[in-house]
Chain A
Amino acid sequence: MTDWLKENVLWLIPAAPLLACLWIVLVGQVVRRKYAHRPLVLGLVVSLAASLYLLTVVVPQGFAHDEHEVSHSVITFVYQWFKVGTLDIPVTLRADAMSALMLTMVTSVSTLVAIFASSYMKGDPGYPRFFAAMSLFVFSMCMLVLAGNFLLLFVFWEAVGLCSYLLIGFWFQKPSAAAAAKKAFVVNRIGDFGLILGILLVWQTCGTLDFATLFDSSFVIDQMVRQQPEIFHWICLLLFVGAIGKSAQFPLQVWLPDAMEGPTPVSALIHAATMVTAGVYLVARCTPFFVHAPYIQMAVSGIGAATALIAAITALTQYDLKRVLAYSTVSQLGYMFMSLGAAGAGEGLAIHAVTFAMFHMFTHAFFKAVLFLSAGSVMHAMGDVIDMRRFSGLRKVLPITHWTFLAGALALAGVPLLSGFWSKDEILAVLAAASKGSAHGGFYQVILGIALLTSLMTAFYTFRAYFMTFWGPEKFPEEAGHHPHDAPPAMAGPLAILAIAALGIGLVTGPTHLYGHYLHHTPGLPHADEFPLDPVMMAISSVLAIAGIAVAYLLYVASPGIAQNLKRSLSIGFKISQEGLFIDWCGYKFVAAPLRTLASICEFFDRWVVDTIVDCFGFIPALFGSVIRPVQNGMVQNYGLVMMIGLVVCLISVLRALAGTM
């Protein structure tokens, strides 16, 4: 039994949600529509159990025991999809320490979100459709993480994009939801274009797309480094463009806030915890490439810092609770990229940079999920109103939601000893180490500065949202009815579990190095010494977090008048922040509008020039037909005659050719 499990656990993880998806699509649409969530929850529980087994038993078997050994990954060959000559596309699943950790995160968060959604989505006419799309998403996400080669990764990279599209536009009757889905899809295309180009470049230079060949031993990459080291800059740049699109980094971050049009569980799962982190995963997975491209790593850091800062500034003044969280997600993703890029300061930092980015991704998944789900619970109680100006003082009526939101907010703000504190502090520490390094130290000092500033703003805007929602005079919108009720058990359970995880998971896995040491077994990551905790950064980030919370308390609870005065006196700054630094506006003005002009020129050209040419081609069949048609007149003697003529022509031509050779 255990042997069987060890060999088959890899495909079991994606297969369970896939089966759930098929079941819901084929059967669940018709029979027992109200219970469409059950197959998904069951499938996810199986997946979660399999992932945990993979994490604790199967993957550690391949770990190296001392420094000279190389850890190897677990590979399952599913089947040969296509093999024609030199073109060989196998479907293989591959798991190593990094993917095992990521899978555990994905399956655990999705299980909780699915349970939450079973209650949240109750009564929606598209109930089975929602769960079918969600199962498809979890399947695709697991396959993306388990993909054994770049091509498979790309297929499921697109598949999660498709699921995201389907779920953002879940209420497609709403024009705003349909537009948001379209926007997300189109913006993602730009990134995906970069990714596919990067993959093609990898294929061309290395001759293989197989992760095991590329990453498990350094042979192929070393060879390439000797032959053409500059190619890695291009590969990494293109792969990073893919990551920018999926992980909503500057300048492609515009789609993520709009994606909040989808149901809240979707925002929590796809647009906060899992799918948007795929870009981080991609860059981390390709670390063996990136260590050879230090300038691209600086660009990664730079883009991450810019995104984090812009998103944080925008989040300061939003009134839509979910949008605050969305900008916060963008900002935290920026953090992760800042950390990933810190490897540019020296090869010794690479593994720590990756570890801390992945660790922040891990803790972020839990606290952001609880924040979003709590926001969903607020929406549920307030009759789908999410504008923070229309309700306040909810901590009495929604006690559970209040506590869970507070737990998430404390963790996100980076209050000492909670999850966000550990992971954020490690990122700050690795940036500090990078800024002390000889190579590009000045650049990383700027990045560190931005990171600290963002950290202060994060604490402020998170607690601004918290105080505006849960403190102050009790006020409900009329959509909420007379007695807003707190989360029912199916919603409260996942909330509580996630809240506990948000508070404690950082403490359990961070300072104990549980996460870091496990991740270090990922094949292909360069080895390095232990990274010491940085007490200075810890102290600074604690002070910043508490300062941010204190300012928020001052402005929104203690004396709300100050906030109003500030808003009036800084109206221009407020407006800029409110509009997200006018990036959307710039996008429309300087990208979309010229494109639209170009499109109308193209349309003109297409309609009058291309169409005319095509119409001319369209005459060919008719012309051709007018030649053939007299023959094709239904007269059998005609047919016989033409066949005979054809035969004679064939004979003559062959005999003539023969005469020529004789």
Chain B
Amino acid sequence: MNEAIQQLNGTLSLIAPDAVLLAAVCIIFFIAPFLVNDKGEAPVGLRHRWGFFSLLTLVIAGCVWWQCPPVPRTLGMFALDELTWYIRGLTLASGVVLVLLHWNQADDARSAESHACLLAILAGVNLIAAANDLIGLFVALELVSIPTYLFLLLPRRDAPAQEAMLKYFLLSIFSSAIVLFGMSYLYGATGTTSLAGIHAAFAATHGQAANPLVAVATVMLIAGLGFRLTAVPFHFYAPDVFQGAPTSGAAMLSLVPKIAGFVALLRLMVPATGAEQAMTSWTMTPAAAPLLWWLAVATMFVGNLMALMQTDIRRLLAYSSVSHAGYMLVGLIVGLEHEIQKDVLNHPVVHSVSGIGAMLFYLAVYGAMTLGAFAVLIAAGRKDKRIETLDDLSGLSRNRPALALVLAIFLFSLAGLPPTAGFLGKLNLFFAAWSQGYESSRWLAVILAINAALGAWYYLKVIGVMFLREPIDRSEQPAFTETPSLIAAGICLAGTLGLFFMPGWLWVPIQSIMP
């Protein structure tokens, strides 16, 4: 009995920040119904209180996170290594921005539940990062998916939002099923659900012939998680859902599932640091690398080419998020190839940039710039009319010059121009791919560069609309002040510019992840 309690305590200390978030979720779900009357009305301004409560929760979780430094990996359900620690920090920081974005999106009566869903999603992402077991990984993935459906529906219940939610719901369970399928094969091939055990099983099969079961599992897992990454051809939901969902929902979808998907892939593909390296054995990577190569190329091209033709700003950002997933896939592939090389040659090759490091850096940078862009869209909207098409943005520089400038900075960053963090992020990815030395990864670097140029085309188009066109809507409505999203935009701006001048802040912890 005592031993069990001790074990539980030990496990809890590994996931303490997530436990804080989930506790807050329970509290909100318990209290919220009592504050709404029978007609479904709530006191005016209740959403501010729930917003502050969410922020407070995130701050407490952040303190707990800071107090829980990485520990050596164990064989239990959860692990707290450098990757977990980094991803937790990233999720909590983006959580703060998302809470601020979501502040006024839901009305008073429904804000409690939607905030709780957001916190649950964040906890889910953290648990994915901490997962050390296939079961834990799957449960954590679902902890991200299921609250997402509610999060998309709760703020607005009009027809477009319902349609968007339903599409996301159906395709998401489809992808979850594929992931589960892949996991079952992986279990069948290795006989264990522990990730460390699976990698150990791979390592034990020295020089054995490739296992078709593992190959099928690899394809299934990549396809299922590719849905979260919006990798082509699993990206179709993104434009429709981004367009229909509330802006904060679109912002959340543009970042959080990507973190979840990439971390899950990393956990499945790369043995934990310090573990025995598998030599010349059949791991998942050799099957995954060429598949991911094609996925990355298709994702970059489809995302950018489709974005070129969009007139709806959300659809444009959706395709932009597809293309950025492609850029990050480049980093992942290069990193995985690096791992194989390490295996085959059995000595660490000194590279200028680690692909996985570049990918993790880009993830943070992408979070800052894309959330910032959504924050400006929320702040630039009017009470009765949100920003939908490119035309709604025309002449923004006349009406709200500061906002237009800030959005321009985020778009410059997305396009990868200095002095913004997006430039350094793309530079890292490019270096990582180029210095790998393989022909295939050199091609990836070239394709990445071509796509960066394609991307600049439509980002600059938006900037042109804001700065060169006359405002279309001349109605003298008072611009409605969205203080929380202005603060969020400020945080993202600080990140986007700060990471250009001080990339070391992020780069140093990342380098400890992948030595």
Please report A residues at the B interface, Cβ cutoff 8 Å: 79-87, 620-622, 624-625, 628, 631-632, 634, 636, 638-640, 642-643, 645-647, 650-651, 653-655, 657-658, 661-662
11 contacts between A and B (CB under 8 A): A82-B503, A84-B352, A85-B353, A620-B305, A632-B306, A642-B233, A642-B236, A643-B233, A647-B219, A654-B291, A657-B287
B29 in the interface, Cβ–Cβ < 8 Å? no
Beta-carbon contact of A655 and B212 below 8 Å: yes
Beta-carbon contact of A81 and B291 below 8 Å: no
Q: Which of B49-57, B164-172, B338-346 contacts A (4 or more CB under 8 A)?
A: B164-172
Beta-carbon contact of B237 and A639 below 8 Å: yes
Alpha-carbon gap, A639 to B222, bound state (A): 17
Alpha-carbon gap, A479 to B236, bound state (A): 71
CB < 8 Å neighbour of A85 from B234, B309, B431: B431
B215 in the interface, Cβ–Cβ < 8 Å? yes
Beta-carbon contact of A79 and B504 below 8 Å: yes
CB < 8 Å neighbour of B306 from A79, A621, A662: A621
Beta-carbon contact of A647 and B223 below 8 Å: yes
- 12 further interface pairs, Cβ-Cβ under 8 Å (given A625-B309, A654-B218): A84-B353, A84-B428, A85-B353, A624-B305, A636-B171, A639-B237, A640-B171, A647-B219, A654-B291, A655-B216, A657-B287, A662-B210
Beyond A82-B503, A621-B306, is A657–B236 a contact (Cβ under 8 Å)?
no
Name the residue on B nearest A661 (C-beta): B210
B290 in the interface, Cβ–Cβ < 8 Å? yes
Alpha-carbon gap, A79 to B500, bound state (A): 13
B178 in the interface, Cβ–Cβ < 8 Å? yes
B412 in the interface, Cβ–Cβ < 8 Å? no
Which parts of B188-244 form the interface with A (CB within 8 Å)? 209-210, 212, 215-216, 218-220, 222-223, 227, 232-234, 236-237, 239-240
CB < 8 Å neighbour of B236 from A83, A85, A632: A632
Which of A84, A638, A661 has the most chain B CB within a 10 Å cutoff? Answer: A84
Beta-carbon contact of A653 and B309 below 8 Å: no
Which of A87, A621, A625, A631 has the most chain B CB within a 10 Å cutoff? Answer: A621
Count of B residues near A, CB < 8 Å? Answer: 46
Name the residue on B nearest A642 (C-beta): B233
Q: Which residues of B contact A657 (CB under 8 A)?
A: 287, 290
Which parts of B318-370 form the interface with A (CB within 8 Å)? 351-353
B443 in the interface, Cβ–Cβ < 8 Å? no
Alpha-carbon gap, A631 to B232, bound state (A): 13
What is the distance, in angstroms, from A300's C-beta to the closest C-beta of chain B?
34
Chain B residues touching A, majority SS: helix
Beta-carbon contact of A621 and B504 below 8 Å: no
Chain A residues touching B, majority SS: helix
B270 in the interface, Cβ–Cβ < 8 Å? no
What is the distance, in angstroms, from A89's C-beta to the closest C-beta of chain B?
10
Q: Which residues of B contact A638 (CB under 8 A)?
A: 236
Beta-carbon contact of A647 and B178 below 8 Å: yes
Alpha-carbon gap, A589 to B223, bound state (A): 65
CB < 8 Å neighbour of B174 from A83, A84, A625, A643: A643
Q: Which residues of A contact B58 (CB under 8 A)?
A: none
Alpha-carbon gap, A642 to B237, bound state (A): 11
Beyond A83-B504, A639-B237, is A650–B223 a contact (Cβ under 8 Å)?
yes
CB < 8 Å neighbour of B219 from A622, A640, A642, A650: A650
What is the distance, in angstroms, from B89's C-beta to the closest C-beta of chain A?
20
Q: Which residues of A contact B227 (CB under 8 A)?
A: 643
CB < 8 Å neighbour of A81 from B175, B234, B351, B503: B503
Alpha-carbon gap, A81 to B507, bound state (A): 11
Alpha-carbon gap, A658 to B211, bound state (A): 9
Beta-carbon contact of A625 and B353 below 8 Å: no
CB < 8 Å neighbour of B170 from A84, A628, A636, A658: A636
What is the distance, in angstroms, from A625's C-beta to the closest C-beta of chain B?
5
Q: Which residues of A contact B218 (CB under 8 A)?
A: 654
Beyond A86-B352, A654-B291, A655-B212, is A621–B502 a contact (Cβ under 8 Å)?
no
Q: Which residues of A contact B170 (CB under 8 A)?
A: 636, 640
Beta-carbon contact of A80 and B215 below 8 Å: no
B438 in the interface, Cβ–Cβ < 8 Å? no
B59 in the interface, Cβ–Cβ < 8 Å? no
What is the distance, in angstroms, from A640's C-beta to the closest C-beta of chain B?
6
Beta-carbon contact of A662 and B219 below 8 Å: no
Beyond A621-B305, A654-B219, is A632–B239 a contact (Cβ under 8 Å)?
yes
Alpha-carbon gap, A85 to B354, bound state (A): 9
B66 in the interface, Cβ–Cβ < 8 Å? no
